Amino acid sequence: MENKIEKPKRPTWFMVLLVLGLTPLLLWPFLMLGSLFMGDNPANEQTARILFYLLLSLPVILGVNSFISYRMFFKRKALAVTMSAIPFALAILLIVKIFVR
């Protein structure tokens, strides 16, 4: 007789939200291509360098964000949902800012 403890499953809507939180990775190659020109003639070289390194580390930041949200879902549901939704919302705002002028 085995006593298996079932782990509670995360809801499907939360898993979809986690995947949507990773959608900025689809924009990342284009952002990196544009970042090649950040160092041409920046107003502030240090700010340009910091932005370049932030863009370079975007996949790691999004991966860690999704991992932390996934792990903390049952302890702090509202914070996990908010952390998952922020990257998707920022990507939508970036797309709107680029294409709607």
pLDDT digit string, tens, across residues 1-48: 567 777 778 899 999 999 988 988 988 898 888 888 877 888 888 888
Domain boundaries along the sequence of the chain: 12-99
Instruction: Return all residues near 73 (Cβ < 8 A) that are at least 6 apart.
Output: 10, 14, 80
What are the DSSP calls for 32-82, one per residue? HHHHTTTTSS-SSHHHHHHHHHHHHTHHHHHHHHHHHHHHHTTT-HHHHHH
pLDDT digit string, tens, across residues 59-83: 999 999 999 999 999 999 999 999 9
* The model's pTM: 0.77
